[in-house]
């Protein structure tokens, strides 16, 4: 049974607002840039066509955030936290509408999108309270009559660039902590997924002073104008490693701070002491959640040769039975990929792997229906000469490779420039300890893959980024430390220069 679709105009707080508008300096304004079609991934049809922001509007948004920063920074923490709690309450009240918008723009199943709306509200509530707890530390002074302490102070204007796969949730990971500690923000969603932000912009306008948060919309040109604006103090970006590296280079030229959560090629290691059928259920989930479009998706699977055949057989059986279809249908487990270009990349990886000798045991072909659907694939006969095992695929593909012993398993897992996460399936604590010691990754999951915890950080190492989101670490990421050395009285020091 399918749910109703999103209307083009909504009423919030008794006022009719146009979905096409940008929020700049507390006012909703029409974009001055060229129109951009937002394609619905489950149909391949245009859902809405909205104008982008112009470069002048990007500058206006940043300048509004810069003007608003001193007053927002100087608000009491109680006031800032109250605003975040009010935003969370509105998100909950708009749960149904936000879930429908996310389903239209991402193609993800409606049932899961409701959970992500709940999580977004929880993130705002968490940072409303965490920001009340700690803003620095007192350090031992050098001498009596002195105070020494470290403040955590906001950066100023934060540019938040949000990807298409989790446009609401990953926005909150940046916006909630940034606002909580006194930053102001300019948000740019991915050009494919502006719908949920439009609803949030209406919420923000009700609870935040003008200019504290602003929204712009568009593609690479808008992103470049935002990143390069001299009044932006921190660029917070989630997306591909290639784009993140360009942002890092641009920011390095001016010394601008970056907060980068980038791509991954996460391995799963399935050891011989594990139930292969149960592990297959977990790995299939981790590989095909959100049609494989998760930065922490399992993209490489290594299974001990003693249980390899049983694992592969189980994975194929489960994958064959996955219900791929309309994300508004309650029975659907896997929806479409977000873009035709993303699906084409997956198909190129699969074709190259086939030509190099790999076997696609199930799936791997576009569905014969409108939209960007791709049947989830299990692939064997792979090795590390293939792009499928080395480059981020970002789609519903699960390549599986056997290993002989733990040394080979850890060597294969480490053979990547990425460092986002790793999943282990084992009952042997020594193997977990070895992973913690040897693998340069931001998250280690043991027997329970691709699970976030709002209280713990999410982030990567090496080519997977330099940032932490969630937990207290996520709050600290939007502040910088300031050392304060205070001699309570002006007293001459023996080492000062003086008249002889």
Hey, where are the domains in the chain? 9-262+465-483, 266-446
DSSP string, 220-264: HHHHHHHHH-TT--EEEEES-HHHHHHHHHHHHTTT-EEEEE---
The single residue listed with the structure tokens 């935040």 is 208
What CATH fold (topology level) applies to the domain 9-262+465-483? Aldehyde Dehydrogenase; Chain A, domain 1 (3.40.605)
**Catalytic residue from among 261, 299, 392, 406:** 261
Mean pLDDT of 36-49: 95
pLDDT tens track for 126-155? 999 999 999 999 999 999 999 999 999 999
Any bridge partners for residue 23, and if so which?
Answer: 28
The whole-model pTM stands at 0.95
pLDDT tens track for 351-370? 999 999 999 999 999 999 99
Tokens of 320: 């064959």
* Chain-centroid distance, C-alpha 260: 10
Q: How confident is the model at residue 210 (pLDDT cuts 50, 70, 90)?
A: very high
The mean pLDDT of the chain is 95
End-to-end CA distance of the chain: 92
Active-site residue, 261 included: yes
Tokens of 325: 């279809």
Predicted confidence (pLDDT) at residue 15 exceeds the cutoff of 60 = no
Predicted confidence (pLDDT) at residue 9 exceeds the cutoff of 60 = no
State the Cα–Cα distance between residues 321 and 427, nearest whole angstrom. 28
Q: How confident is the model at residue 18 (pLDDT cuts 50, 70, 90)?
A: low
Q: How confident is the model at residue 396 (pLDDT cuts 50, 70, 90)?
A: very high
The single residue listed with the structure tokens 């569905």 is 367
What pLDDT sits at residue 16? 42
CATH superfamily, region 266-446: Aldehyde Dehydrogenase; Chain A, domain 2 (3.40.309.10)
Output the 3-class SS for 249-260: HHHHCCCCEEEE
Q: How confident is the model at residue 313 (pLDDT cuts 50, 70, 90)?
A: very high
Q: For 161, how many CA atoms within 13 A lie in the half-sphere containing its CB?
A: 29
Mean pLDDT of 112-130: 98
Predicted confidence (pLDDT) at residue 12 exceeds the cutoff of 70 = no
Q: How confident is the model at residue 19 (pLDDT cuts 50, 70, 90)?
A: low
State the Cα–Cα distance between residues 336 and 409, nearest whole angstrom. 32
State the Cα–Cα distance between residues 361 and 121, nearest whole angstrom. 41
**Catalytic residue from among 105, 295, 299, 392:** 295
Q: Are 409 and 302 in contact (CB under 8 A)?
A: yes
Tell me if domain 9-262+465-483 and domain 266-446 are identical in fold: no
What pLDDT sits at residue 13? 45
pLDDT tens track for 30-41? 999 999 999 999
What pLDDT sits at residue 171? 98
Mean pLDDT of 175-180: 98
Mean pLDDT of 62-79: 98
pLDDT tens track for 150-177? 999 999 999 999 999 999 999 999 999 9
Q: Are 334 and 318 in contact (CB under 8 A)?
A: no
> Which residues are CB-neighbours of 395 under 8 A, at least 6 positions away?
291, 292, 293, 337, 342, 343, 345, 346, 349, 374
DSSP string, 58-72: HHHHHHHHHHHHHHH
Q: Are 48 and 7 in contact (CB under 8 A)?
A: no
Crossing angle of helices 110-130/95-106, nearest 10°? 120
Active-site residue, 251 included: no
pLDDT tens track for 75-105? 999 999 999 999 999 999 999 999 999 999 9
């Amino acid at each position: 049974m399918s749910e109703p679709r999103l209307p083009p105009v909504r009423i919030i707080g008794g006022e009719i607002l146009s979905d096409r508008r940008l929020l700049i300096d507390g006012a909703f304004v029409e974009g001055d840039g060229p129109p951009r079609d937002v394609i619905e991934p489950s149909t391949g049809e245009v859902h809405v066509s909205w104008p982008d922001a112009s470069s002048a509007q990007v500058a206006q948004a940043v300048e509004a955030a810069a003007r608003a920063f001193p007053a927002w920074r100087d608000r009491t923490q109680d006031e800032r936290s109250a605003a975040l709690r009010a935003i969370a309450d509105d998100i909950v009240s708009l749960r149904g509408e936000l879930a429908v918008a996310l389903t239209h723009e991402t193609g993800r199943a409606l049932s899961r999108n409701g959970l992500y709306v709940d999580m977004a509200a929880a993130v705002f509530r968490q940072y409303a309270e965490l920001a009340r707890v700690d803003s620095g530390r007192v350090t031992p002074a050098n001498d009596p009559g002195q105070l020494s302490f470290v403040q955590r102070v906001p950066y100023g204007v934060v540019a938040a660039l949000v990807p298409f796969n989790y446009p609401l949730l990953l926005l909150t990971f940046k916006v909630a902590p940034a606002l909580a500690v006194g930053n102001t923000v300019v948000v740019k969603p991915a050009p494919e997924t502006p719908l949920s932000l439009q609803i949030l912009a209406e919420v923000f306008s009700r609870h935040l002073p003008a200019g504290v948060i602003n929204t712009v919309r568009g593609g690479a040109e808008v992103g470049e104008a935002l990143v390069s604006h001299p009044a932006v103090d921190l660029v917070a970006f989630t997306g591909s490693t290639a784009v993140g590296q360009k942002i890092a280079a641009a920011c390095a030229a001016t010394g601008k701070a970056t907060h980068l959560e980038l791509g991954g090629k996460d391995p799963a290691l399935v050891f011989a002491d594990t139930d292969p059928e149960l592990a297959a259920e977990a790995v299939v989930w981790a590989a095909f959640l959100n049609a494989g479009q998760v930065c922490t998706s399992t993209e490489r699977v290594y299974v001990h040769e003693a249980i390899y055949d049983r694992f592969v057989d189980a994975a194929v059986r489960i994958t064959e039975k996955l219900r791929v279809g309309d994300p508004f249908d309650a029975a659907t487990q896997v929806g479409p990929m977000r873009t035709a270009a993303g699906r084409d990349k997956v198909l190129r990886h699969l074709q190259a792997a086939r030509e190099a000798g790999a076997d696609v045991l199930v799936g791997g072909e576009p569905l014969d229906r409108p939209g960007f659907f791709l049947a989830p694939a299990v692939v064997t006969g792979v090795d590390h000469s293939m792009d499928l095992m080395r480059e981020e695929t970002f789609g519903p593909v699960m390549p599986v490779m056997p290993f002989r012993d733990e040394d080979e398993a850890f060597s294969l897992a480490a053979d990547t420039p990425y460092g986002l996460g790793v999943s282990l399936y084992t009952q042997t604590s020594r193997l977990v300890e070895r992973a913690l010691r040897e693998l340069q990754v931001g998250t280690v999951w043991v027997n329970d893959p691709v699970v976030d915890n709002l209280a713990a950080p999410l982030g990567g190492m090496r080519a997977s980024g330099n940032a932490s989101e969630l937990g207290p670490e996520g709050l600290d990421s939007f502040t910088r430390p300031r050392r304060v050395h205070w001699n309570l009285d002006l007293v001459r020091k023996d080492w000062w220069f003086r008249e002889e």
